[in-house]
Amino acid sequence: MKHILFTQIAGKSVGYYALLGWLGAFAAAAMGATWYMEHNGHYVTGMDNQIVWGMPHVFAVFLIVAASGALNVASISSVFGRVMYKPLARLSALLALALLAGGLAVLVLDLGRPDRLIVAMTSYNFKSIFSWNIYLYTGFFGVIGIYLWMMMERRMNRFTRIAGLAAFIWRLALTTGTGSIFGFLVARQAYDAAIMAPMFIVMSFSFGLAVFILVLMAISKGTSRPLGDAIMGKLRNLLGVFVAGVLYFVVVQHLTNLYATEHHGVEAFILLNGGIYTGLFWIGQILIGGIVPLALLYHPVTAKDRTMTGLAAAMIILGGLTQIYIIIIGGQAYPLVIFPGYEVSSSFFDGQINAYTPSLPEIVLGLGGVAIALLIVAIALKVLPFLAESLADIDIDPHYVAPPDVIVETMDDVAEASNDEKASEPA
């Protein structure tokens, strides 16, 4: 592999400033939505005292989970020694930090009283997984910050593998903590499962890599930087493996619940008679987010088409949002089983399926978190050298072999130059 040169983007084009403008507008709209919900109360949203986690939580959890997965590429380089991924490691770590910042911004702004975060940061109940996550999220920023420093400071490069290993372990703990939020909630029939933690880890691999691929393709096209087929092929195959892994864990989760009689009700709700949730599960999560992307990524006709790879990544992101929507909203929509074996009804809607319709302010706030993450990436790329100048096969693939026509052309050039040199010699 040739020496890798990292540079900033120029950031002087009309397109770049237009991008900043659009992202800034979404972030500003999210602040306006936050003020509207805080000023008027959460009754203006679709949330109520039955469904207390709404659309902002769907976006927040997706961004947090994707942040862990976006670090995959850097981990493959530093921890597993795959030198071909080294030119992408800095961008991978940057995207991980940005996605986590966007997700946490949505969480904080959805509190209704953002100042209450101070209470969560100063008073800890270690029987609550939320207290653990305060350390996991803030620690992630610190660990990844140090990891980036090791990569970007030449004097510290010898510590990159150690920092990368620490970041790899921390990101696994972070995603385990996020999945455990649901796995530890024994009161909810749809949540109470130990498989939530490993399933969220595999989900992070899939969602984060899908986001990374789209960002990488957009940056390469926008900055006219070469992006070789070799690295795209490896990322594409890796993404397919992760998507298949998510489908596997989903199947295991539902088969396990179907084995236990106490979960038959919630399984019937999600898989058969849950209305919008059943449709979202089969069409949004399984078909759009799993089966179709796998076909696009591995079919001989579409596998080498970058447009199809981008489409598959976009569908995985859409399917991921749908999956988290079903976990969070669908899990709350199914009624609490307060008295097992009995039917419960009261004026407080006990025993009834809870209705929820996302409101515009909630959706705007969630999209604002995505905009904040992308805004951080766009500005950072202009300020610091996160991008390799070239990702062409000849520059990053250690096993690169020039095509036969190129080799023949090169040999002809050498022979021609040699003949010219002999002709120019004095008689």
Query: Mind listing the pLDDT tens digit for each residue in 148-176?
Result: 999 998 888 889 999 999 999 999 999 99
> Exposed, middle or buried, 119 (CB in 10 Å: 0-12/13-18/19+)?
exposed
Measured distance CA(254)–CA(195) in Å, rounded = 10
- Mean pLDDT score, 86-102: 94
**pLDDT on residue 411:** 45
Cα torsion 255, 261, 265, 270 to 10°: value is -10
**pLDDT on residue 82:** 86
- Do residues 344 and 351 make contact, with C-beta atoms less than 8 angstroms apart? yes
User: Is pLDDT of 410 > 50?
Assistant: no
User: Is pLDDT of 67 > 70?
Assistant: yes
Higher pLDDT among residues 31 and 116, named by residue: 31
Higher pLDDT among residues 187 and 391, named by residue: 391
- Mean pLDDT score, 356-376: 94
Which residues are within 8 A (CB) of 246 and not within 5 positions of it... i.e. 6 or more apart?
199, 202, 203, 206, 290, 323
User: Is pLDDT of 421 > 70?
Assistant: no
Which range of 93-102, 382-391, 403-412 scores highest in mean pLDDT? It is 93-102
Higher pLDDT among residues 183 and 103, named by residue: 103
Higher pLDDT among residues 394 and 346, named by residue: 394
Report yes or no on whether pTM surpasses 0.75. yes
**pLDDT on residue 40:** 86
- Do residues 208 and 66 make contact, with C-beta atoms less than 8 angstroms apart? yes
**pLDDT on residue 362:** 93
User: Is pLDDT of 123 > 80?
Assistant: no
User: Is pLDDT of 403 > 70?
Assistant: no
Q: How confident is the model at residue 347 (pLDDT cuts 50, 70, 90)?
A: low
Which residues are within 8 A (CB) of 90 and not within 5 positions of it... i.e. 6 or more apart?
6, 74, 148, 151, 152, 385, 386, 387
Q: Tell me: the pLDDT tens digits for 276-318?
A: 999 999 999 999 999 999 999 999 999 889 999 999 999 999 9
User: Is pLDDT of 426 > 70?
Assistant: no
- Mean pLDDT score, 30-49: 87
Q: Which domains does the chain have, with CATH numbers?
A: 6-423 (1.20.1630.10)
**pLDDT on residue 420:** 54
- Mean pLDDT score, 207-230: 92
Which range of 153-167, 217-231, 307-321, 327-341 scores highest in mean pLDDT? It is 307-321
> Which helix (H) or strand (E) covers residue 6, if one does?
strand 6-7
